[in-house]
Chains A and B, each alone.
Chain A
C-alpha cells in the first residue's frame, strides 16, 4: 500500500520506479453493469460474459529521482492504466513494478470521492485513505486551501463545485503533500489559464534532485516546457523515449498534426 506520510531517504538520481516487462489485460464485462439478470438471460446460449483488452503490453521503464517524465500518446494508449499500475491501484497482469518511495497520485478523477461531502471533508478522507495521519493533514490543510483559492467554497458540498474548482482542489492536495514520487494525470486541463500557470510553476518548484515527477498530458507544449524526459506510448507499447523535443516531434509526425494551438494546449 502506498504511504504519503514518510519521505524515505534515497540518493539523488537513484532509482525511483522500476517497471519490468509489465503487461495489463483488462477483462471487462460485456454488460454495462454485471447483473444476475444478465447472466441468466445469456445462460445456455454460449455467449461471452466478458472480453479482454490489452491495455499495456511488455512495458519496461526505469525512472530515476530528479526526472520529470512526460508521458504522451493518443487516447487509449494505456497512459492512465500504466499510472494506476505504478500507483498500486491495479495489479499488473504480467511483469513487476518496484517503487522506491512514497507516491502521491493525482489521477483523472480528482480528490476524495463523495460529492455530497464538503471539499474539506473530502481532503481529510482522501488523505486518511492514502495513509496520512490527521495531524499531517491538519498541518497542511491551510496551505492546501490557500493554494486552491476556493475561499469559503471549501466548506460547500463538492457537488456544487465546477469542474475547474474540483481540479484546483485536487491539484492543491497532491502538490502540497510533497511526496517522493508525484504522478499527475491530465488534471491541469480543466483549470483556467491563471491556475494552470500557477500549477505549472508549482510543478517546476517540485522539480528537485530527490523527487520524481510523472506528468501525463496531451498539452505537448507544457510537457516540452516542464519535462526533461518523455515517453511516447501507443496502444500499450513504448514507441520511443528520450529528449522531449525529439520525441514530441516524432509523435507529431506520427499523428500527422503540425504544431498548433490545439496540439500545444488542451482546448
Chain B
C-alpha cells in the first residue's frame, strides 16, 4: 500500500492488531501485492541468474535437460511397451514439458517461504509474492522447451490447425494449477519441513499417474478411475489432444481441469493468507 501524500493528521497509515485465523483485508492485500509486481519480476530474474540460466550454456541446459529426459522416457516406453513411433514421441515430449511447467512450480515453491527467511524477518510485505515468483520462474523455464517442442513436431510432421489455439487456455490453467500447488506447499513446508524431502516422490508418482508415458485413451476402464485422484490428468490429456493431434479438447476435460485448478488455488491461498502473519515467528 502506498501512503497517500496528504494524510489527515490523526489517521494512522498502518494499524497492527492481533489476528485470529482468518483472512487479512483482501482489498488492501491485493493493492499491496500489485504495488510490488516489480519485485516478483526482479526476484524471478535474479533466481534464474543464480541458477546460471543467465549464461549461454545455462540456457542450453534448460532445453537439453527436458530433451534428454524425454529421450530416456522414450527408451523406457519403447522397451516396456515394445512400440515406439513418431506420434508417441510427440505425445511424450509435449506432455512431459507441460508436466514440468507444473512440477517446477511445485518444487520451486516448496522452499520459497523457508528460504526467504531473512527477508520475512526484516520486511513487511505480502508473503504470497514468494510462491508467485516460483511459478513465474517455472513459466520462464517452460518457454524454451515449448519452442523445442514446436521444432520437434514440425520435423516429425504433426498436423497444424486453428484448434491449437486451445493451448492458450490450457496453458493458463496449467499455470494456475502450478501456482495453487506452490502456494499450498510453501505454506505446509513452514509447519512440516520434511515435505520438501517427500516432494520428489510425490512428483514422481504424479508422472506415472498422468497420461505422459501412455495416452489416456489406452487406459483400461478400471485404471481410468485413478484419474479422479489426479488433478492434472485431464489437463495433460487436453494438452496432448491439442498439441499432438491439433484437435479441440473435450469440454469435460476442460471443465474438470478448471474445477481442480480453482479448488487448489482457492484452498491454497486461503490457508496461506490466514497463516502468513504467523510465518515470521516460525523460523
Contact = CB atoms under 8 A, between A and B. Distances in A.
Interface of A: 1-3, 5-6, 8-11, 14-15, 18, 26-29, 33-37, 39, 84-103, 105, 107, 109-114, 116-117, 121, 124-126, 128-131, 133-134
Interface in B1-17: 1-7, 9-17
B193 A114 contact: no
Given A90-B280, A97-B16, A99-B14, A131 B2 contact: yes
24 contacts: A1-B1, A1-B125, A3-B2, A8-B5, A8-B13, A28-B281, A29-B282, A33-B193, A36-B198, A86-B16, A89-B122, A91-B18, A96-B15, A97-B17, A99-B13, A105-B123, A107-B122, A109-B121, A113-B118, A116-B50, A128-B39, A128-B42, A129-B125, A129-B129
Given A93-B18, A95-B18, A133-B38, A35 B46 contact: no
A124 B42 contact: yes
Interface of B: 1-7, 9-19, 28, 32, 35-36, 38-39, 42-43, 46, 49-50, 116-126, 129, 191-195, 198, 277, 280-282
Interface of chain A: mostly helix, strand, loop or mixed: loop
A255 B10 CA distance: 39
Given A10-B7, A105-B123, A131-B2, A37 B194 contact: yes
B126 A1 contact: yes
B136 to A, nearest CB: 14
A86 B17 CA distance: 10
Nearest to B197: A35
Contacts of B123: 2, 89, 105, 126, 129-130
Given A5-B3, A93-B18, A98-B12, 15 more contacts: A1-B28, A6-B3, A8-B3, A36-B194, A87-B124, A89-B121, A100-B11, A107-B121, A111-B122, A112-B119, A113-B120, A113-B122, A125-B46, A128-B38, A131-B2
Contacts of A130: 123-125
Contact of B13 (A101, A110, A114): A101
Nearest to B45: A121
A71 B28 CA distance: 32
A91 B12 CA distance: 16
Contacts of B119: 112-113, 125-126, 129
Given A109-B122, A113-B117, A90 B50 contact: no
B115 to A, nearest CB: 8
B16 A91 contact: yes
Contact of A91 (B17, B42, B116): B17
Contacts of B3: 3, 5-6, 8, 101-102
Contacts of B125: 1-2, 129-131
Contacts of A125: 39, 42-43, 46, 119
Nearest to B117: A113
Contact of B7 (A8, A91, A112): A8
A100 B11 CA distance: 7
Nearest to A27: B281
Nearest to B192: A36
A10 B16 CA distance: 20
A92 B122 contact: no
A28 B278 CA distance: 11
A117 to B, nearest CB: 5
A35 B193 contact: yes
Return the 6 tightest CB-CB contacts between A and B, nearest first: A113-B118, A113-B119, A128-B39, A98-B12, A88-B124, A1-B32
Nearest to A86: B16
Contacts of B46: 114, 117, 121, 125
Nearest to A121: B46
Contact of A14 (B9, B28, B35, B50): B9
Contact of B14 (A2, A35, A39): A2
B6 A9 contact: yes
B18 A105 contact: no
A90 B16 CA distance: 9
A89 B280 contact: yes
B35 A131 contact: yes
Contacts of A11: 9
B86 to A, nearest CB: 43
Contacts of B282: 29, 34
Contacts of B12: 18, 98-100
Contacts of A109: 118, 121-122
B281 A88 contact: no
